[in-house]
Each structure stands twice: as C-alpha cells, then as structure tokens.
C-alpha cells in the first residue's frame, strides 16, 4: 500500500467514552493534581517557617485570583479523589459492580464532590 491509500485509524476524540471510563481517568488525574498540590502546601508551610516576609509573599501568591483558582482545583481534586476512593473501597468488598449501581454511585460521588467543594469554599470565604 502506498501511504495515501492506507486506512486511517480513528482518533481518540472520535470515541464516546462511558462515564465510568471518564471517572477512572479523572481519578488518576486528580491523584497527580494532589501530588503537585502537596508541593504547594509544603511551600506554604516552609514560607511560614522562614519568617513573616516569606509567609506574606506566599499568602499574597495564594490569595491572588490565580492562587484561588489553583486552590479551588486542589480542593475539588481532594474531594473527588476521596469520594472515588470510598467508592473503590466499596468495590473492594464486592458492592456496586452491577452497571446500574456503578452509574448511580458515580453520580452520587460527583454530587458529594461538588457539595463538599462548595461548602468548603463558602466556609473559607465567609470569614
């Protein structure tokens, strides 16, 4: 075959992935985000240990709009990873493998993630 006559494989974006596949990938991605966020937390704690100037600089950085966006993503990732981890623990004991139950538990997990994230940010911004 010449290169112009070869069949083309479909691109990854041409597929419609099931919700459970997307949630699994998101669980892995939030794990990576949490690892990076832990470095940010370490920076904040180290800045507090280095003195008031360093801590003020770290607080200004984290208190900026971009810092808030990063912290929001970190908190969402934390709650998503936690809720999905509980769901995986339930799977480990044999509950929830049936497709309708897995879909419902996925919807509950996303709702819990959103609720916990919103409540945390309301509490954080209210004082």
Contact between residue 83 and residue 77 where contact means Cβ atoms under 8 Å apart: no
* pLDDT score for 113: 97
Alpha-carbon distances of 22 from 50, 71, 84, rounded to whole Å: 42, 23, 12
Alpha-carbon distances of 99 from 17, 87, 123, rounded to whole Å: 15, 14, 36
Residuewise pLDDT in 10s, the chain (127 residues): 556 676 666 666 667 778 888 899 999 999 999 999 999 999 999 999 999 999 999 999 999 999 999 999 999 999 999 999 999 999 999 999 898 999 999 999 999 999 999 999 999 999 8
Q: How many CB atoms neighbour CB 81 within 10 A?
A: 19
**CATH class of the domain whose range is 19-125:** mainly alpha
CB environment 39-51: b (16+ within 10 A), e (fewer):
ebeeeeeebeeee
* pLDDT score for 110: 95
* pLDDT score for 20: 85
- Helix residue ranges per DSSP H, the chain: 19-50, 52-63, 65-92, 99-125
* pLDDT score for 16: 75
* pLDDT score for 67: 95
Task: Kindly report whether the global pTM for this prediction surpasses the value 0.85.
Answer: no
């Amino acid at each position: 075959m010449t290169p112009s006559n070869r069949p083309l494989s479909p691109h990854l974006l041409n597929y419609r992935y099931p919700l459970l596949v997307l949630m699994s990938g998101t669980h892995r991605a939030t794990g990576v985000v949490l690892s990076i966020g832990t470095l940010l937390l370490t920076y904040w704690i180290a800045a507090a240990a280095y003195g008031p100037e360093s801590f003020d600089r770290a607080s200004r950085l984290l208190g900026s709009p971009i810092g808030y966006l990063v912290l929001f993503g970190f908190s969402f990732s934390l709650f998503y990873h936690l809720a999905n981890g509980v769901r995986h623990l339930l799977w480990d004991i044999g509950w929830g493998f049936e497709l309708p139950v897995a879909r419902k538990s996925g919807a509950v997990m996303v709702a819990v993630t959103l609720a916990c994230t919103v409540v945390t940010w309301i509490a954080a911004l209210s004082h």
